[in-house]
Chain A
Amino acid sequence: MNDVGLYQFRLYVVGDTPSGQRARDNFKRIQEYLLPDEVQLEVVDILKAPERAEVDRIIAVPTLVRVAPPPAFKIIGDLSDSAHLRTFFAIAEEGKDKLSVQL
């Protein structure tokens, strides 16, 4: 699970909502263009596992948490603001060349 280079994400949602679905779709696109192949995404439904949200102190949904590699960060929202995200991921991955990728 904790292999070097493995990317782990956790997506918090509340039940089955349109914004939760949009977040999943948008995450897939990000994964395709901006992230390496080995990416794990865990979807946590807070209605089913409220204690999980307690650990990550989640108050808004959807929220995407990058669990590994450090540093941890959170993205709140359905991940639809692609321009904003592109910049953020590119800087976070220190891959400035990825900035030119169109989502």
Chain B
Amino acid sequence: MSNENSKIPVEKLGTGIEGFDLISQGGLPKGRTTLITGTAGSAKTVFAAQFLAEGIRKSNEPGVFVTFEEHPSEIRKNLLSMNWHIQEWEEQNLWRFVDASPQPGHETIESGEFDLGALLARIEYAVRSIGAQRISIDSLGAVFTLFNNATLVRAELRRLSAALKGMGITALMTAERTQEFGEIARFGVEEFVADNVIILRNVLEAEKRRRTIEILKFRGTTHQKGEYPFTVLPDQGIIIIPLSAIELKQRSSDMRVPSGSPEMDRMCGGGFFRDSLILVSGATGCGKTLMTAEFIHGGAKKGEKCLLFAYEESREQLLRNANGWGIDFEALERNNQLRMVCAYPESAGLEDHLIAIKREIDSFKPDRVAVDSVSAMERVGTNRGFREFMISLASFVKHREIPGMFTATTATLMGGPSVTESHFSSITDTIILLRYVEMLGEMRRGVTVLKMRGSMHEKDIREFTIDHQGMHIGKPFRNIVGILTGKPEYLNMESMDRISGMFQD
């Protein structure tokens, strides 16, 4: 490379694949070749096709697809499920196939010297004929299986790579790997065809499949490091969840919104902040769903739109329970003030849930969001996957600058930490604990505001009761300690006096 060239930074071409341009800090290196490798079923072909499809859909850039494995008719059919109408694009000269797939029934033998000049000529012709700016080649491993002489194929692929560079086209080549961890690709293709390598993984972890994408290297330019989870959706293709690429740049607001319970508003120093995340933690049955119902009701009374994701109860159960507290969810729905999305956590993977949540929020545009409960999602993914889910969800809601209430069920009846809390507590602004309190052979309920960022809040643990009008927060528990640790104990007057005396000036 000449001195002058090295002064020009590597330009990037936005792929349009959701999340990819964020983790790659702008897209694929423009005018260069990028190798994308993965085991069988790791979505290499989808990625390669989507690179072209998004180019056409988002920036009207024509693309060429070179296929060595599947026949174009199969690719057209398979990708129709993504809602990519390749045939129409072909008619509009936006997409062109170079078909190098094996011809069934055609016997092929080798005799003497040859080169892949025909392939090169066809690619050049296809690129020229539609003015292509993107090209995908799927896959290099298949080229090796077509010929006996691997050395020759290697030399020819190097020639192809150089020719692509000469055309100034941004290229994506796929290659197979046999293991998720180990050599980058079969036949060592990364050594000679590409300056840039991306790895797709599809790892089986604790009986669950987890797809990730990693940019291994981009020569001469920057990118985010490490693995990022992604999913493949039927009508959208690959969606990458750019977890640690998420920026903490949301604005902060002093505006308060009602929690739905006047007493809770008082405990929080005047209501929740408009752009805050509220975690409600408590054992099963101690009033978490009620708090979300109050939260929704409080918003609705102000004329706000609320979105509720319910992962523990069906729509009918929710309606009935809310009715029992004097809240008419059905009427709110009719007013378009409430949308309930009920799903069974196991019905999809965490990534798919996350994307479904985002889509609902984007389409309904709520003024507040509640998720009851996020801890139900613990069952669906691995620990790491769940952590990523929580962070991603939290950041997404925050960016909308709306309040979000998330509930978490504690593992034991008397409280104690849950996985959700340990992953989530540092990114939430407000934590409300609901606890059972055993008193003289009776179960009572206690509520306290453990944390409230940027505001004074009450430190008391107050008793609350539930009746047909909802939640009523009463007086603080005074002569009892150990509620939070799950071991409540009475104090007699003597020790009460002693303890309060300890902290006096």
- Interface of A toward B, CB cutoff 8 Å: 12, 14, 17, 19, 22-23, 26, 46-47, 50-51, 53-54, 57-63, 71-81, 84-85, 88
Contacts and interface: CB of A to CB of B under 8 A. Distances in A.
B114 A76 contact: yes
Contacts of B109: 73-76, 84, 88
Nearest to A44: B118
B114 A74 contact: no
A50 B110 contact: no
Contacts of B106: 72-74
Nearest to B99: A57
Among all A-B residue pairs, the 8 with the closest Cβ atoms: A80-B112, A77-B112, A50-B125, A14-B117, A59-B119, A78-B112, A81-B111, A73-B107
A53 B99 CA distance: 10
Interface in B78-102: 98-101
Given A72-B106, A76-B110, A50 B115 contact: no
A53 B122 contact: yes
Contacts, number: 101
B146 interface: yes
A54 B105 contact: no
Contacts of A22: 112-113
A58 B113 contact: no
A12 B118 contact: yes
B348 interface: no
B103 interface: yes
Contacts of A80: 111-113
Contacts of A14: 117-118, 120-121
Nearest to B119: A59
A76 B111 contact: yes
A75 B112 CA distance: 9
Given A22-B113, A50-B126, A80-B112, 6 more contacts: A53-B121, A58-B118, A59-B146, A60-B147, A61-B117, A74-B106
Interface of B: 98-101, 103, 105-122, 125-126, 146-147
A14 B123 CA distance: 13
B130 to A, nearest CB: 13
Contacts of A46: 117-118, 121-122
Given A59-B116, A60-B119, A61-B117, A79 B107 contact: no
A74 B108 contact: yes
Contact of A54 (B99, B107, B115, B120): B99
A12, A23, A57, A77 pick with most chain B CB within 10 angstroms: A57
7 contacts: A19-B112, A47-B121, A57-B100, A59-B100, A72-B106, A80-B111, A84-B109
Contacts of A51: 125
A19 B115 CA distance: 9
A14 B113 CA distance: 14
Nearest to A50: B125
Contacts of B147: 60, 76
